[in-house]
Amino acid sequence: MAIQSQPATQPPATQPRENIRAFLARHPIAATLVLLALAFITLLTINRNQLLFPLWSSIAFPILAILPFLILNLHIPTRFKVLLGLLVVLVMVPYLGLKDSFYLELGCQIGIFAAMALGLNIVVGFAGLLDLGYIAFFAVGAYLWGVFSSPQSNNVIVASNALASPALFWVFLIGGILLAALAGILLGLPVLRLKGDYLAIVTLGFGEMVRVLMSNLGNISSDPNVKLNITNGAQGLPGIASPPLPHFVFDAVGGLANLFGIPITNINSITYQLFFYVLVLIIGIIIVVIATGLENSPIGRAWTAIREDEVAARAMGVPLVKMKLMAFAMGASFAGAMGVVYAAKQTFVSPESFSFNQSIFILVIVIVGGMGSIRGVILGAVAVTLLNLEILPNLSILLNSFKSNSTVPEFIQNIFKAWPNQLEPAQYQRFVFGILLVLMMIFRPAGILPERRRKMEIEAQMKGADEPVPHLDSPLTPLETLAPLDTPGGPSNVA
């Protein structure tokens, strides 16, 4: 008599985990909405007076920021994807910003770095031109508005009555785009024949030249009794003007705050933060539309051909000079626009804001997100910016809170007081970025959301590297035996 085998039962500890996985697989839309609601409610209920605020904020806000990318991958109609995305960026984040302006600042910084990373992605990801001085174009736009709108003393612009009205911000925004594009062309002209390491070194030098130039334009006079100040040197330009806003905008923001019962002490500050958040969002959408159109256009295909093989591209009739200069100009123009916005938002710029580390930071965003992938670069900007500006600083704040908060037991305070200040997470941002790059190159070399063509290329390369080299059973054929096929008599006629 055959004994029927009983079906294997899972241990009780693993059943909840399997149930959660099954629910996520069967109901991805509901799971996404639940996660979105939990993150939003968590951010609404916590406040900075709580001990674990840095921890919960570092968990909930990244989830809220990354969920729109998960929504894009759901199998739902496009209009619902757009509505959910707009719900996050136009309702949830601004509402949280009214409650805590730091979230609006995070949104602005993510948008600025995403726009610059999309510009660098055109140069590096589309055209294959490694640019290590990309931050210079950002500086060009920032200093264009800063020089003409900062009323700092002993300035040539102020002395010559050439100070721009704050209402001309929009004109200078267009001027920043054009001037940065011109700077990109000027950089591209002498490096047309360079590629690889040589191109990287030249672009790195260009970025440092711009930074040093801004530092040295504090006094360009040869007369020691006369000072001709343009950029105020290493001290930077304070008091940069922001564009004027109509009074009804301030009234509308105040009315919304009163409607939701959110107390606001400085209505002007929060209104300008909302304004710059919306402005960065609009410019970012325009940049995404332009980058997507270029990627799918003949210009984008020409850039791809140049990236893959310049010799073959030239043979196929691709104008290398024109296409390379266009890539430099287009990528630089995005940075120039954001430079003007950054200067007006911060109301202060200095040469230290445009160091080589900032160029590397933007390049890290492109590499982590996926070179050549528009969606991947935006996701990389979200992840890296949050890691840099929220997660690591919040971990340091949390450590310091456990050292001094009166609600923490004394023996726990003593444990955290023994933690040296030199090992605070916020001081190891570059170290964390280095580890992140190493891990990405090992486990995800094409990026988090790679571009389809690049993903196929890397997979093909890895597959080729894994294939064994064929064994040669016979020795190599001597040169004297390699006679042309049409030579009468074969090898004996080879002299």
pLDDT of residue 480: 42
Instruction: Tell me the percentage of the chain whose pLDDT exceeds 70.
Output: 84
- Which residues touch 47 (CB under 8 Å, ≥6 apart)? 53
Three state DSSP letters for the chain: CCCCCCCCCCCCCCHHHHHHHHHHHHCHHHHHHHHHHHHHHHHHHCCCCCCCHHHHHHHHHHHHHHHHHHHHCCCCCHHHHHHHHHHHHHHHHHHHHHHCHHHHHHHHHHHHHHHHHHHHHHHHHHCCCCCCCCHHHHHHHHHHHHHHHCCCCCEHHHHCCCCCCHHHHHHHHHHHHHHHHHHHHHHHHHHCCCCCHHHHHHHHHHHHHHHHHHHHCCCCCCCCCCCCECCCHHHCEECCCCCCCCHHHHHHHHHHHHHCCCCCCCHHHHHHHHHHHHHHHHHHHHHHHHHHHHHCCHHHHHHHHHHHCHHHHHHCCCCHHHHHHHHHHHHHHHHHHHHHHHHHHHCEECHHHHCHHHHHHHHHHHHHHCCCCHHHHHHHHHHHHHHHHHHHHHHHHHHHHHHHCCCCCHHHHHHHHCCCHHHCHHHHHHHHHHHHHHHHHHHCCCCCCCCHHHHHHHHHHHHHHHCCCCCCCCCCCCHHHCCCCCCCCHHHHCC
pLDDT tens per residue across span 356-371:
989 999 999 999 999 8
pLDDT of residue 482: 42
Amino acid symbol at 29: I
CA–centroid distance for 469 within its chain: 41
- Number of Cβ within a 10 Å radius of residue 2: 4
- pLDDT over threshold 80, residue 477: no
- Residue written as token pair 């102020």: 158
Greater model confidence, 19 or 412: 412
Paired strand residues for 349: 237
Q: What is the dihedral of CA 391, 394, 396, 402, to 10 degrees?
A: -130
Instruction: Tell me the percentage of the chain whose pLDDT exceeds 90.
Output: 44
Greater model confidence, 137 or 19: 137
Inter-CA distances, 290 with 367, 403, 454, 456, Å: 21, 50, 21, 25
Inter-CA distances, 204 with 4, 117, 468, Å: 73, 17, 39
What pLDDT band is residue 485 in, cutting at 50, 70 and 90? Answer: very low
CA angle (114 as vertex; 150, 206 as ends), nearest 5: 60
- pLDDT over threshold 90, residue 422: no
Closest alpha carbon to 348 in 232, 443, 446, 447: 232
**CA-based torsion, 11, 13, 15, 18: positive or negative:** negative
What pLDDT band is residue 25 in, cutting at 50, 70 and 90? Answer: low
End-to-end CA distance of the chain: 87
pLDDT tens per residue across span 227-267:
778 888 888 889 899 999 999 999 999 888 888 888 888 89
What pLDDT band is residue 4 in, cutting at 50, 70 and 90? Answer: low
Tokens of 37: 């609601």
pLDDT of residue 393: 92
Query: Is the separation of the CB atoms in 128 and 307 below 8 Å?
Result: yes
Query: Is the separation of the CB atoms in 83 and 62 below 8 Å?
Result: no
pLDDT of residue 69: 87
Report the alpha-carbon distance of residue 158 to residue 230 in Å, rounded.
Answer: 10
Query: Is the separation of the CB atoms in 110 and 89 below 8 Å?
Result: no
- Which residues touch 223 (CB under 8 Å, ≥6 apart)? none
pLDDT of residue 155: 64
- Which residues touch 437 (CB under 8 Å, ≥6 apart)? 364, 367, 368
Inter-CA distances, 275 with 36, 99, 174, 359, 417, Å: 25, 16, 18, 27, 42
Closest alpha carbon to 116 in 384, 451, 418: 384
Report the alpha-carbon distance of residue 443 to residue 434 in Å, rounded.
Answer: 14
pLDDT of residue 232: 84
What pLDDT band is residue 343 in, cutting at 50, 70 and 90? Answer: very high
Average model confidence (pLDDT) across the chain: 84
pLDDT of residue 212: 92
**CA-based torsion, 17, 24, 442, 55: positive or negative:** negative
Query: Is the separation of the CB atoms in 341 and 149 below 8 Å?
Result: no
Paired strand residues for 238: 348
- Residue written as token pair 């609404």: 44
pLDDT tens per residue across span 305-331:
998 888 898 888 889 999 999 999 999
pLDDT of residue 266: 85
Report the alpha-carbon distance of residue 38 to residue 439 in Å, rounded.
Answer: 30
What are the backbone dihedrals phi and psi of residue 155, each rounded to the nearest 5 degrees, phi first? -100, 135
Q: What is the pTM of this model?
A: 0.85
